[in-house]
Structure 1
């Protein structure tokens, strides 16, 4: 029995080390070409950019966000606020301030359609109203890190790069929930940014995502998954991103910060929606991500089983092997993730990685149970 456990542990450990040493390390070592400051890509002049902001009852957030967007330092851009049936005074606020921010305009959406989820319809309307050939997506509860957000993202476009994946961390606040949300956001970014560098892009985050509008219409927008709640970012990337058309942006000036959920209930509701989208990924992406999470869970399940066996039989040699395996994994994990953490503006403390490893084991097991038992819920705005 112990031989089988150690063999399984070795298999799971090799898979984990492969991701860290051959996939994630690409992000740690990535050298990004620096923009000239006005968003000009290496092979041409800066393209016009339309920033799309979907808003459903986001009056307070829009009051803070729109001045920041209007003040962006970029040669040619506009901001379209897609007011989706808001009833909190958003429409009056936008009308009253129509001349206050020259780069900002709004489109009011009055109708909800049964054949497509509301946010995807709002984004589609925004794409059709866009004056410029590049769309940059964000949410009303987001805040760009600097006045160079648009310029930084646009600088990564080129003749063959039609998509730019940005990073959108959450603000740091007190409490376990906030720590876990920031850990999950960081590790998700590690995965999708690293795999993009490995020419296997599979998702982006709609809080900070840029692509050419022509690409959107070439793929008929969200038609393939118009009925799926969520997925306006990752499912479209699954559909449109290729080995060669996707770039990433690691410039901290181009990050977009967001306000996290403050209760476990609201976070769990959001997480259920995100998890329900994953089953619509391409098979190859599901396999890659499945191996990553399964090997993570496997290391811990087999490791704990081996620990129990070794303690019961007082087999110190087996316990030494187990300790060495976990020490090696944690060492590699900490070195690689800390290097990435420095690239992502140190959104986590360096000592977070080992506790995060155990927490994700519990999280993966818990979420797999929720997915299996999940019942169909009423569609929300998202």
Structure 2
């Protein structure tokens, strides 16, 4: 009580009319501080210790796998650079199924010629219809039906595996479940924009990976995900057919249970998405795919919003208290802020190592401050100017 009386007198001497308002700000900041600890020490903090292979017998073989990729648009880079990485995976029994939706005769001919000389490459084609572009869901359905094996791994033409062990690690996930969720980061490049994108992708992935490890899966990533044929057909295929999005979140929510999901986190199981542009490109990508968020389960939406809002309110109340307090009391709100910053930085570095992310360092501190406001502005933008391209 002596400290409170001393603080009250100092605030009164500074000219604060209602000193208990400042005390209330400090109390509110501490409440939001502990909410943040719940996320970063509790929910997200478990990821560095998570091991998907605990309890798996080493003599149980991984199943044969079909890797399904939809080929669209200008695919020459994929054919020259990514396809050899897929075909060169160190795995005993697998095939690569390409669904050719490029509507380009030259690309189609190249793919057919390759399939004649590569035994485990299978190519199927969807013919173009006048004034109509086939949806990604139709293309994936064609690929699933064409696949030889029961267990399917999906990736995209604009992403590539970082290791020859990628497929073996993802396929091993099927020993624990019928749905396998992996990680996809942005390819490392020089520049602040690239580090910003990688921080954003890492934080987004941490949310759904941590939920999946707790049996509350609400999404994966189309660049690195797997499930069985039986699960797909038993659920009668993709849902939300009037949308061009949702293959890795809305459909996953339809097929997952608490006990059928396997999470694979290993630097060698990571794939990288090609960076096609700067922050404007990244903003457009996130805005487009983010339209599915409103259809997520209420608990998943609430968890994301609570973390971001508690982070924003913690920063706001801490800054307000620090501005109003006398100098000798300013450490009271700033110490929890510095402690949280240290915890977040250490946790994200540890999680990043599990996923093959390195050298984003100080950029994450800036992203940490910006993310709540950026998330709000993104949501507002989707509400005011929705992207009609998501609808068929």
* TM-score in terms of structure 2 length: 0.87
Q: Out of 11, 17, 41, which is 1:21 matched to? A: 41
Once superposed, what is the RMSD of the aligned Cα atoms?
2.6
The structure richer in helix per residue is 2
SS at match of 2:30: helix
| Whole-angstrom CA distance in 1 between matches of 2:326 and 2:196 | 35
User: Which residues of 2 match residues 334-353 of structure 1 at below 5 A?
Assistant: 334-353=345-364
Does the CA contact (< 8 Å) of 1:26 and 1:198 recur in 2? no
Alpha-carbon separation, structure 2, partners of 1:101 and 1:192 = 36
- Say which of 369, 373, 382 aligns to 1:358: 369
Residue 181 of structure 1, CA deviation: 0.8
- Aligned residue in 2 for 1:157: 174
Q: Measure how far apart 1:307 and its partner are.
A: 3.8
Distance 1:260 1:365, change over 3 A: same
Aligned runs of 1:286-365 on 2, under 5 Å? 286-308=301-323, 310=324, 314-316=325-327, 319-365=330-376
How much does 1:187 deviate? 1.2
Deviation at 1:97, TM superposition (A): 2.1
Shift in alpha-carbon separation, 1:376–1:315, aligned structure 2, 3 A: same
Deviations 1:83-114 (A, max 9, x none): 11433732122123222322111111125699
Render the CA deviation track for 1:235-276: whole Å, top value 9, x for unaligned: 222222222111111222221122123233322221111210
Answering whether residue 83 of structure 2 is matched by residue 103 of structure 1, we say: no
Q: 1:148 aligns with which of 165, 172, 175?
A: 165
Distance change (3 Å), C-alpha of 1:288 and 1:200: same
CA gap of 1:116–1:326, structure 2 versus 1, over 3 A, is farther
Contact 1:208 1:256 in 2 (8 A): yes
2:207 is equivalent to residue 196 of structure 1: no
Deviations 1:111-131 (A, max 9, x none): 569999711111111111111
Q: CA deviation at 1:365?
A: 3.1
Uncovered stretches (5+) of structure 1, i.e. residues with no partner: none
2:3 is matched with none
Larger radius of gyration: 2
**Which deviates more from structure 2 when the two are superposed, residues 22-31 or residues 367-376?**
367-376
| Partners of 1:124 and 1:113 in 2: CA distance | 21
Segments of 5+ residues of structure 2 without an aligned counterpart are: 1-20
Q: Which stretch of structure 1 is more off in the superposition, 23-32 or 343-352? A: 343-352
Using a 3 Å threshold, how does the CA distance of structure 1 residues 115 and 41 change in structure 2: closer, same or farther? farther
The 1:114/1:18 distance shift into structure 2, 3 A limit, reads: farther
Matches of 2:46 and 2:270 in 1, distance apart?
19
Deviation, 1:204, is 0.6
Match of 1:71 among 62, 72, 88: 88
The residue matched to 1:169 in structure 2 has which SS? strand
Q: SS of the counterpart of 1:228?
A: coil
User: Is the partner of 1:143 in helix, strand or coil?
Assistant: strand
Who is 2:6 aligned against? none
Moved more, 356-365 or 65-74: 356-365
| CA distance in 1 between partners of 2:237 and 2:130 (Å) | 16
